[in-house]
Structure 1
Amino acid sequence: MKQNNVSLPTECTLRSATSEDIWSIRLLVLRAKLDPTQIRWQQFWVIECNKQLIACGQLRNFSGAQELGSLVVLPAWRSRGLGSFLTQHLITQATQPLYLECLGEKLAQFYSRFGFVAISFEELPPSLKRKFGLSQLAKKLIKVPVVFMKYQE
Structure 2
Amino acid sequence: MNQSNLELPSGCTLRKATSQDNWPIRFLVLSAKLDPTQLRWQQFWVIECNGKLAACGQLRNFDDTQELGSLVITPAWRDRGLGSLLTQHLITTATQPLYLECLGQRLAEFYSRFGFVAIAFEELPRSLKSKFGLSQLGKKLIRVPVVFMQYQNR
Q: What TM-score results when the alignment is normalised by the length of structure 1? A: 0.98
User: Identity, % of aligned pairs?
Assistant: 77
Tell me the equivalent position of 1:116: 116
| AA of the residue aligned to 1:138 | G
Secondary structure of the equivalent of 1:72?
strand
* Structure 2 alignment gaps of length 5 or more: none
Following the alignment from structure 1 to structure 2, what is the Cα–Cα distance between the partners of residues 114 and 57?
Answer: 15
- 1:60, distance to aligned residue in structure 2 (A): 0.1
- Equivalences for 1:69-84 in 2 at 5 Å? 69-84=69-84
> How many residues are matched?
152
| AA of the residue aligned to 2:116 | F
| AA of the residue aligned to 1:3 | N
* Structure 1 alignment gaps of length 5 or more: none
Residues 17 and 41, structure 1, Cα contact 8 Å, conserved in 2: yes
Following the alignment from structure 1 to structure 2, what is the Cα–Cα distance between the partners of residues 15 and 82?
Answer: 13
Moved over 6 A (4+): none
- Equivalences for 1:19-98 in 2 at 5 Å? 19-98=19-98
Tell me the equivalent position of 1:142: 142
Tell me the equivalent position of 2:2: 3
Following the alignment from structure 1 to structure 2, what is the Cα–Cα distance between the partners of residues 86 and 29?
Answer: 15
Q: What TM-score results when the alignment is normalised by the length of structure 2? A: 0.97
